[in-house]
Amino acid sequence: MAITLIAGTGLLTACEVNDKQTEAAVVPEKKPNILFILADDHRWDLIGKYHPIIKTPNLDMLANKGVVFKNAFVTTPICATSRVSILTSLTERTHDFTFGRPGTGIAESNSIYPKVLKDNGYRSAFVGKYEIRLSGKAEDKFDYFKELLQTKTVKYKGKEIPQTYHIAELANEFIAQPENNAKPWVMAVNFWDPHAHDRDLEDQYHYPAEFEDYYKDVTIPPAKFSKDKTFDEFPEFLKTSIGHVRWKWRYDTEEKYQKMVKRHYRAITGVDKAVGMIYAQLEKQGVADNTIIIYAGDNGYNINERQLAGKWFGWEEDLRIPLIVYDPRNKATQGTELQQMALNIDIAPTILDFAGVKAPESYQGTSLVSLLDDQQDVTWRNEFFFEHMYQPKRVSIPPTVGMRTDRWKYVDFYKNDFQQLYDLKNDPNEQVNLANSAEHQAVLQDLSKRTDAYIHKYENLRSEQVKQRSSFINVRKHSEN
């Protein structure tokens, strides 16, 4: 009997050990921190890894360690609208926000990814350029909120520093908060640079003084289609648009072109330095190995192409952005380049997917995580709808709608009775407009009808609040073609 009791006691002890091991095995994996970094007017090709002149060593590091989406686009090429689309995963046609509009609706504001994660156990933070309006209070969406207007320098801890570095310092203050030891965090860091200081017609772009000599002895090559011939063939509404007005500020002489492009590049290099500052803080706090970093631009940027400046239009220069996703936990995808079409509206569902949180039903984008995990059976988009609806009174920005497929680009300046059609396979630089080509009319009409289908789809997905106050209605001169 004694032996039996001893044996039984031994079995009970073993069960207890096994139970503890089982409990340890089911402890959920620590959720990652997620850092989303957004630069203003940083177009897709101005990354040092892919560009012969510009220097971005920290972005190159993220690209080499992470995944680069080589075909990333925005659905609306202007900062305010794109930033709301990033937060809400909604197109402009659905969320109805741009400059001069009321704040986004209650439903849209409550669906932004920082709020969703805050409601699901994350600490949320925002630092930098906001320049949007959401319904409700910021503190309901963010535990740490530092909205900044554009400036050149800021006094920080008794020292005058570039605003780009100030944004990095504020981000670093959040990363160092002891409260982050108890919860995972998500932070959006929105830089103002390399956006121009539009009131400063003399210098436009500003950057940390340490980069003053960067690119000084380099000659910037001419932009494509920057000769008079291309511009002279434009309809009058494009010639008088804000894109050409600002071109005169920046690029209308060779001397000015060289000066301004170099200043723009220096501003990007300044953002790159700030990204390095933030990464160093992640390492200092011991969280770099569990922090996913996503870097993107809010829209593309014309730099003298077609004698235009800015964004707002439908060319690749306007729509394409850099998009880098670095997940330090995923070693298998290190240094990968993906060709699938990624959109700004994919960022919010991707962030939620990384956090293991279900995306709201309203989201129109798709998580990129399946592509990052190299799932072979993923069915992916081969086209997307884009538009630009902002129509200010003080300057001319012609509204557009259109769509881009793997093969074709269709753009309708519908208030100006002017369409564009480009064969991206045979004309990737978008040099020849085929809209009036007899042999391409079937393609034109098909893309026009499909564009209308997207318009109807996204209008029908508006919330009731947006429907009641919407400024965008489906009126196109070519909609009956």
Please state, in angstroms and rounded to a whole number, the distance separating the CA atoms of residues 267 and 301: 14
Neighbouring CB atoms inside 10 A of 201's CB total 12
| CB-neighbour burial class of residue 263 (10 A; exposed 0-12, middle 13-18, buried 19+) | buried
pLDDT score for 376 = 64
Among residues 159, 277, 162, the alpha carbon closest in space to that of 211 is found at 162
Residue whose structure tokens are 């008088």: 240
262 Cα distance to chain centroid: 23
Are residues 321 and 296 in contact, defined by beta-carbon separation less than 8 angstroms? yes
Question: What does each of the 481 residues of the chain score in pLDDT, given as a tens digit?
Answer: 333 333 333 333 444 444 544 444 455 678 999 999 999 999 999 999 999 999 999 999 999 999 999 999 999 999 999 999 999 999 999 999 888 888 889 999 999 999 999 999 999 999 999 999 999 999 999 999 999 999 999 999 999 999 999 999 999 999 999 999 999 999 999 999 999 999 999 999 999 999 999 999 999 999 999 999 999 999 999 999 999 999 999 999 999 999 999 999 999 999 999 999 999 999 999 999 999 999 999 999 999 999 999 999 999 999 999 999 999 999 998 999 999 999 999 999 999 999 999 999 999 999 999 999 876 678 999 999 999 987 777 778 999 999 999 999 999 999 999 999 999 999 999 999 999 999 999 999 999 999 999 999 999 999 999 988 876 666 665 444 3
- Give the three-class secondary structure for 422: strand
CA-nearest of 284, 321, 286, 369 to 33 is 286
Give yes or no for a contact between 271 and 42, defined as CB atoms under 8 angstroms apart. Answer: yes
Predicted local distance difference test score (pLDDT) of residue 92: 95
Task: Identify the residue whose tokens are 């235009």.
Answer: 308
What is the predicted pLDDT for the residue at 475? 61
What confidence score (pLDDT) does residue 23 get?
Answer: 47
Q: What is the pLDDT of residue 375?
A: 65
Q: Are 300 and 317 in contact (CB under 8 A)?
A: yes
User: Domains, the chain, ranges and CATH?
Assistant: 33-374 (3.40.720.10), 386-469 (3.30.1120.10)
Tokens of 319: 């729509």
173 Cβ partners below 8 Å, 6+ apart? none
- φ/ψ of 37, rounded to 5, equals -115, 130
